[in-house]
Structure 1
Amino acid sequence: MSANEKTRTVIIGAGIGGLCCALRLAHAGHAVTILDRHAAPGGKMRTVPSPAGPVDAGPTVLTLRPVFETLFADVGARLDDHVTLIAQDTLARHFWPDGSSLTLTSDRAANAEAIDAFAGPRAADQFRRFCTDMQRLFTAFDAPMMRAPDPSLLALTARVMRDPGLIPIMAPLSTVARDLRRRFSDPRLAQLFARYATYVGGHPLQTPALLSLIWHAEEQGVWVVQGGMQALARAVADLAQAKGADLRLGAEVSRIETTQGRASGVTLLDGTRLPADVVVFNGDPRALATCALGTGTAHVAAQTLTTPRSLSARVWAFAGTPQTAPDGPDLAHHNIFFADDPDEEFTSIAAGDMPHDPSIYVCAQDRGQPTPPPYLERFEIILNAAPLTTAQRPEKEAQTCHQRTFPTLARFGLTFSPEPGRDALTTPSTFNRLFPASAGSLYGQSPHGMTASLKRPRARTAVQGLYLAGGGTHPGAGVPMAALSGQHAVAAILKDRTSI
């Protein structure tokens, strides 16, 4: 290839990690082609149709907004010119079977006051200490872990040694659930903050206590994307196309081609071959290790064949009119209805069973907007579930899930008219079909174990010219983390191309 020719780059998957990678590489002058088997960009930031319009069936809000502000600024654009983000004063409303409820906002002092009224002054003091500690942990590990392309145990140890006071806050021998029970005298608060382990696909009983720092990411702010989360993916895709990237939807890759140990192109399901100097895989890395895209990648991300998978979910996405009892819940955008026994819930999931008494997340997609919600609203309801590697799959899964979901919400005073049918439900097996070789897992490898985060696949692979991006790659799950994975892939690609 002559010095004047553009680097031919094929990106497999139009999830947010792949799109962010495509935007940066197109801006850097690469000839970028993005391929996705689905009909719309976004990957797990997907929607399903309803009588009220498209309903989010994946992530529901944006956190860590500066990650995307930086992305757009780095390519000479402004985030606010391409997408409308609506700040949420209410982070979430929480409800318990005993009739108690707690609303948390973006104001730490107001939250402490609310917790004082909810559980007393001791609980409010415990909350203030928790927030201070999680902010300290987040600040300490943001640069050497999340924003570092290749974090190492040595670098992380050095960071802790510079501030040994981090060690008791990290509680290295504890789990999220156990540490929170030590921190909070009120079990409801321990249950509330333990749910953040599920944000990265972990069981609170098994996830390292360190990951409670996820709370600080949400405390920094939550934004609703006008038009739904897929509008963010479309904005990144549109800007990448404006910079010359070629987005091809409905284009399924059957094989990654390798020549003498180097990625040399891809072959589509219809037999079309696209030569490439660089290939970026924005999918679950397990697909490469299982040879789902050919034998040339069998030695890539081999650890995904033996490490446990993260949680999956059962997701209802539908339109309906909410009907609440006189003393029923006043819905915000984020709403969590907690199980009576969190240990039973996650013990059941760990065994591959569907909990009898699940915690239920309800996203009222049309709440938290500048205008009042319409009569027919859009809802996404999420229940944690085991991945297919452990999940039992009864033939009547949809019926059972319906019985565990809507009667439970009715006991909280919330019903819907009409209730959704089975076609509105996405199950772990559906996720496995949508995202091949994922085993239904939504977050890649399990976060269980103190060094689990260091064992995720990185941007570079053992195959020259082949790189990884997405939630299954470092730094992990979540929309901002997937975006950072795309940034790490770009940094590795540009450095390697310069070396060549």
Structure 2
Amino acid sequence: MSQKAIVIGAGIAGLAAAVRLVNRGFKVQVFEANAHPGGKLSEIQHKGYRFDAGPSLFTLPEQVEELFRLSGKSPEEHFEYLKLPVACHYFWEDGNQVKAWSDIKRFAEEVETKLGEPAENVRKALKESAFIYDHLSPLFMHRSLHQLNTWINKEALKSYLKMGKLGIFSTMHKANEKRFEQSKMVQLFNRYATYNGSNPYETPATLSIIPHLEFNIGAFFPKNGMHDITLSIYRLALELGVTFTFNAKVEEILVENKKAVGVLVQGERQEADLVVNNMDMVNAYKSILKKQKQPKLLLNQPKSSSALIFYWGIKKNFPELDLHNILFSDNYKEEFEHIFHKKSIYHDPTVYINITSVYKPDDAPEGCMNWFTMINVPNNQGQDWDSMIAEARKNIIAKVNRILKTDIEPLIEVEDVLEPRTIESRTSSANGALYGNSSNNMYAAFLRHANYSSDIKNLYFCGGSVHPGGGIPLCLLSAKIMTEMVE
């Protein structure tokens, strides 16, 4: 008779965990508090516009494809995507613009022509990024940091010998200052700290690993939108026999004799041979694990940044905009000072605009665009968000108007908002932090919860708040690492 596994949460990692466990022979039941799967990777539809609600960048698509191959299915028949010719379009207040072409030679030539940055510096920086990836990804992305065999193998030894070149002892900003001559290029490469909600002036230079994913490997777009990542894995799980129960908030993980034996859902006991928690780790310990020993060191770590997102239906087409667009702040350091130390929003924020209708025209009415307009903001510490959001909206619109030389306000015919309070309430993310604990110190990678409990047998963890971190690829890898630990 098959053993039963219960997965708490149908976020992207929970879905991947369910697929992997059912392939291991488990009977899998997923309980989700919301009415739909996906967690942050969901969608919004309003008056002819469709928006991907959460993560908008897609890298390492092989992590999705692997789930289908593992299940004996052809990925191409279930999930389609394309490689982007332009990873991002960058704008500055002084009129400078740069397209980050996926062709590295073309990108290097572009920044040399437009910004005066020697092309060789770009090529060298991306080689360094690949070097860091080659040495650290086997340790930090594909294995548990909490098991001895991770540290006593040939790959680990190879990394130890290169430790001084891996950026562990410097910050991202300092490393980029050495790599580039032009401040705009430093700013462009500092931006990668935001990919896991960190501060480039504090986070280790090891995070310079991220440009490798975007340039050397590539940025991609699912042909049916980012939400199709959720839907494709969800459909796969259903085909494999995984059972989902929505609108079912887990009240407690049941522990007997230091062993997870099931969960309590809507007052009913649901037994299982193992339990997988895909809920935010901090809120899980505060609620469904509140009777158990608390990992206070991990729970008290500083949290990552959050986001303020305006979903705007724009009744005009802007041909100068791409899928991913960045309108940079003139004072990046001060912007991060506000986010992480003043816990407020800088008056000149960097604005990210994601427009899926560029590649998926039916996401907006004809002649219109669906703008996912986001700025990085502090996590929720009880600030006066209503006034902060109102002020930020004015500043965002003013910045868009200046850089694009337009008047955007009368073009907004649809608007929805997502901010730290609603991020927390909808996704159970502690303080509305998008990536769990921040990575603003050299030990941050070691201050994430393991993919298993050292105190409770048969209790496992996956998702963006535990090892190896946040973002779609790392969430999928967390499910893989976790499943490989299951006895």
Query: Does the 8 Å CA contact 2:12/2:38 hold for their aligned counterparts?
Result: yes
Report the counterpart of residue 439 of structure 1 in structure 2.
431
Q: CA offsets, 1:248-300, max 9 Å, x none?
A: 121111111111221111112x323211111111011102332x11433443x
Distance 1:278 1:15 in 2: 18
Q: CA offsets, 1:54-73, max 9 Å, x none?
A: 31121113101122222221
Shift of 1:103: 0.1
Match of 2:466 among 462, 473, 476: 473
Q: SS state of the match for residue 286, structure 1? A: helix
CA gap of 1:203–1:163, structure 2 versus 1, over 3 A, is closer
Distance 1:166 1:311 in 2: 31
The worse-fitting range, judged by mean Cα deviation, of 107-116 and 14-23 is 107-116
What's the Cα RMSD here?
2.3
Match of 2:232 among 225, 230, 235: 235
Alignment of 1:313-352 (within 5 A): 313-322=307-316, 330-350=320-340, 351-352=342-343
Q: SS state of the match for residue 467, structure 1? A: strand
Q: CA offsets, 1:391-442, max 9 Å, x none?
A: 6224323311211211111111252653367x61111111111122511101
Report the counterpart of residue 94 of structure 1 in structure 2.
90
Match of 1:402 among 386, 393, 410: 393
Match of 2:282 among 282, 286, 290: 286
Query: Does the 8 Å CA contact 1:11/1:34 hold for their aligned counterparts?
Result: yes
Distance 2:322 2:79 in 1: 22
CA gap of 1:28–1:372, structure 2 versus 1, over 3 A, is closer
CA gap of 1:437–1:354, structure 2 versus 1, over 3 A, is same
Shift of 1:385: 0.8
Report the counterpart of residue 307 of structure 1 in structure 2.
301
Q: SS state of the match for residue 296, structure 1? A: coil
CA gap of 1:335–1:416, structure 2 versus 1, over 3 A, is farther
Confirm whether residue 113 of structure 1 aligns to residue 106 of structure 2: no
Q: Which amino acid aligns with 2:236?
A: L
Report the counterpart of residue 441 of structure 2 in structure 1.
449
CA gap of 1:257–1:161, structure 2 versus 1, over 3 A, is closer
Confirm whether residue 142 of structure 1 aligns to residue 137 of structure 2: yes
The worse-fitting range, judged by mean Cα deviation, of 362-371 and 248-257 is 362-371
Give me the identity figure in percent: 27
The worse-fitting range, judged by mean Cα deviation, of 479-488 and 369-378 is 369-378
The worse-fitting range, judged by mean Cα deviation, of 314-323 and 478-487 is 314-323
Q: SS state of the match for residue 459, structure 1? A: coil
Structure 1, unaligned runs of 5 or more:
none
Distance 2:161 2:483 in 1: 35
Query: Does the 8 Å CA contact 1:443/1:476 hold for their aligned counterparts?
Result: yes
Number of residues of Structure 1 aligned to a counterpart in Structure 2: 480
The worse-fitting range, judged by mean Cα deviation, of 358-367 and 436-445 is 436-445
TM-score, normalising length from structure 1? 0.91
Shift of 1:165: 7.5
Query: Does the 8 Å CA contact 1:61/1:223 hold for their aligned counterparts?
Result: yes
Q: Which amino acid aligns with 1:313?
A: A
Shift of 1:108: 0.9
CA gap of 1:168–1:130, structure 2 versus 1, over 3 A, is farther
Distance 2:103 2:52 in 1: 27
Q: SS state of the match for residue 98, structure 2? A: strand
TM-score, normalising length from structure 2? 0.93
Q: SS state of the match for residue 396, structure 1? A: helix
Report the counterpart of residue 260 of structure 2 in structure 1.
263
Distance 2:189 2:440 in 1: 17
Distance 1:289 1:232 in 2: 28
CA gap of 1:161–1:254, structure 2 versus 1, over 3 A, is closer
Shift of 1:239: 0.8
Query: Does the 8 Å CA contact 1:50/1:318 hold for their aligned counterparts?
Result: no
Report the counterpart of residue 365 of structure 1 in structure 2.
356
